[in-house]
Amino acid sequence: MQAFYERGVVVQDGKREIALDPKRGRKGSVVSHGHMDHLSSGGYMTPGTLDILKARRKRGTGTALPYDTPAEVEGFQVTLREAGHTFGSAMVRVDDVLYTGDFNPEGGVTCGRAEPEWCQTLIIEATYGRPSFHFPDKRDTESDLVAWTELQLARGPVAIGGYEFGKAQELIALMNRAKLDVAVPDRIADLADVYRQHGVSLNYRRTSELTEEERKDPRVYIVPGRWIRMLPDEASWLSGARTAYVSGWCTIYDFTRSMNLDAQFPLSDHGDFDDLMEFTAHCRPRRVYTVFSHATELAKEIVRRLKIKAEPLAATRRKEDALFG
């Protein structure tokens, strides 16, 4: 069994071959989750990811495969496991190979958590694969974000930016727990509607349905990250709002200064370096392939610290790794 990167992660065993997260739609492939740099038509994916695909790409097609339900795909036994990255995200088990996709052992408000399991070969993402990448306690950061938001609402509207799929819905759920009024643009609402269809409780209003007078009311606006950098004409009425950006990259970069924001919070839907190392150790693989972003650095640390054979598949930079992707 071997793995390589060729416009997607490819697992090969003799004449058998299966593509994971291919760049283009491919029959018999497997899609791990609904972020656009992983999402393609034609493959197997969780029911949640399939509905996200249909919402993001109107002609998207695929085959729904529920979690923990083995299926034969391209001659391999494939099983999807909870990845904890976004709603519907999955790690992919292919015989005795485990591909994490993007994953988070801590999970989130709107999804479960990734659990390590034994595998012969582990293919692990390396988005935060440098030893210097560490996140503060997630519960503390969530508490800080809510406290800051409640304080700023006394002055007027608050706009919080993040990825429109995954992060935005996590933020809606977090503000719902704090019983704060939330409004979101239609693109975020369309994706949040899919969550609701699958039984995830999210409460929000669409900004397109707010009256001119209602827009002046103090409320939380969850918006795409790019809106925080430059408001589109459709949201010009948010120009006086207090602003914050939410991303794991906030542990490294000061966006308050470079983007003239009021605050930033290091909440990530990925695991940090320690999570990656601990997950690898608990899977007890004989061989590890690292992929995405900081694949080379992570592979070196796995060899040095865990004494497990490891090598990068590709140090590919994805749109998701961009600061405001």
Residues 204 and 234 sit within 8 Å (Cβ to Cβ)? no
pLDDT at position 99, please? 98
What string of DSSP letters covers 210-226?
Answer: --TTGGGS--EEEEEHH
Question: Cα 236–242–246 angle (5° rounding)?
Answer: 100
Residues 2 and 12 sit within 8 Å (Cβ to Cβ)? yes
Q: For the chain, list the domains and their CATH numbers.
A: 2-133+269-321 (3.60.15.10), 138-265 (3.40.50.10890)
User: Please, which pLDDT band fits residue 325 given cuts at 50, 70 and 90?
Assistant: very low
Cβ atoms < 10 Å from Cβ of 95 = 18
DSSP secondary structure code for residue 324 in this structure = T
Chain position carrying tokens 């998207």: 60
User: Please, which pLDDT band fits residue 314 given cuts at 50, 70 and 90?
Assistant: low
Residues 251 and 266 sit within 8 Å (Cβ to Cβ)? yes
Between 172 and 26, the more confident residue is: 172
pLDDT at position 92, please? 98
pLDDT at position 27, please? 85
What burial class does residue 19 get, using C-beta atoms within 10 Å of its C-beta: 0-12 exposed, 13-18 middle, 19+ buried?
buried
pTM, full prediction: 0.93
User: Please, which pLDDT band fits residue 234 given cuts at 50, 70 and 90?
Assistant: confident
Distance (Å, whole) CA 206 – CA 184: 5
Residues 290 and 129 sit within 8 Å (Cβ to Cβ)? yes
